[in-house]
Structure 1
Amino acid sequence: MNRTTRFVLSTLVVVVLVAALGFIYASPYIVLNRVKRAADARDAQTVNQYVDFPALRASLKEQVTGLLTRRVDIQKSGNPLAIIGAMIGAAVVGPLVDSYATPDGVAAILNGIPPRGNFGEQPPRANDVPLAHSPPAPAPGAPTAQDTPQPAPQPSSPEAPKQPPMTTARYRGLNTFVVTYQHGAGDARYSAIFQRDGLVSWKLVAVDLNG
């Protein structure tokens, strides 16, 4: 083997190694994109590949219970009826967790709509928000949108965010990847937590409603 051949082989090895390391580093970002697209499409089979539902369910139960507990602590010196309401909310943690430990719930979590611990709360379903379509071009001589009275704007759903959340994603250690969501500077943050599942595969395992 001559010097040129050895140089070419060494270069190929370095290129392959760098590409492999780059792919390993980028793997949680790739998984995040895949699971979000699958959840938005309510592709349960694909979502199941990237979500550890037992772990997510346990995390949701712990986080929502903690959320309600903090709410009671804040309201102890306030209206007793508010405290009773928070205690009733604690009794419905199970149904709330059940509703969020689903493809609908995963889609909500990855789109900036976390559980808030409200009575009867459920994540929005795929058909709750219709897809936007471009309006057809007006026929010649037809009145335009400026000439036609427009209906008053309808209030947005309280469950849907007014704008896409600000999102940051980063490693938290070698095997943990955290995606943090916040709608505005004054809004509470929350995080979706992914855990490494093999060399390049990751699974959503938890949420952190404290950010």
Structure 2
Amino acid sequence: MKKLITVVVLLVLALAGWWFSGPYLTVHGLATAIEQRDTSRLERYVDFPRVRVSLRAQISDYLVRQAGPGVAESPFGALLYGLGGQLGGAAVDTMITPMGIGALLQGHVLYKRGRNELQGGDAYGATEPAQPLKEARHRFERLDRFVVDVDRGPAEPPLQVVLEPQGLRWRVVDLRNAIPAP
């Protein structure tokens, strides 16, 4: 009987350790994929369809708040909302893909090279890797939601990268505060 209780306790502890270490392992893998500009590896850690839906909603909300209530009442305003939503959705669909993120990371390399932020000061050397999660803060919001706060400066709220479990792994499912407040 004691052996059975010991096995059950060890199994519960192992399961709890796996559950609570999962988000940290995902954040580490995500940071490594970003630093190495590995878009195929990045795809393992990000649920791109859910992130796109979230960003489309944030863009629509931003457009409505920017335009104000008076614009929505006119037929021309409704047309503008629809057009803005279509253009914003198309931009999100293009950029929030592994290839779109790869293009952003490549743009980061060109930006760093232009600013002469190179490893060892060698003109042909590699650029300093992108490390957006280096100073990030982590916390469990709930047992099934983990949030990574990434500082963007004193004037803006932190970008919140939300992870949730999907099957046996944790993945990024939402980016909060991605669109600035009006």
Shift of 1:185: 3.5
Match of residue 133, structure 1, among 95, 119, 135: 119
- Calculate the TM-score normalised by the size of structure 1: 0.57
Alpha-carbon RMSD across the aligned residues, in angstroms, is 4.0
AA paired with 1:127?
V
Does structure 2 retain, via aligned residues, the 8 Å contact 1:166–1:184?
A: no
Match of residue 202, structure 1, among 160, 170, 178: 170
1:35-50 alignment, distance < 5 Å:
35-50=30-45
Moved more, 25-34 or 39-48: 39-48
Shift of 1:37: 1.6
Structure 1 ranges of 4+ moved more than 3 A: 9-20, 85-91, 103-107, 163-166
Hey, what's the Cα distance between the residues in 2 that align with 1:133 and 1:41? 14
**Where does the alignment leave 5 or more consecutive residues of structure 2 unmatched?**
72-79, 123-129
Does structure 1 retain, via aligned residues, the 8 Å contact 2:150–2:158?
A: yes
Determine which structure has more spread, i.e. the larger CA radius of gyration: 1
Percentage identity across aligned positions?
25
1:186-201 alignment, distance < 5 Å:
186-199=155-168, 201=169
- Number of residue pairs matched? 158
State the secondary structure of the residue aligned to 2:137. strand
Whichever structure has more helix as a proportion of its residues is 2
Does structure 2 retain, via aligned residues, the 8 Å contact 1:188–1:210?
A: no
AA paired with 2:109?
N
- Calculate the TM-score normalised by the size of structure 2: 0.64
CA deviation profile, 1:152-197 (whole Å, cap 9, x unmatched): xxxxxxxx9xx98852221122211111222334323331111101
Hey, what's the Cα distance between the residues in 1 that align with 2:53 and 2:12? 38
Hey, what's the Cα distance between the residues in 2 that align with 1:89 and 1:37? 35
Match of residue 33, structure 1, among 10, 28, 33: 28
Residue 184 and residue 44 in structure 1: after superposition, are their counterparts in 2 closer, same or farther (change >3 A)? closer
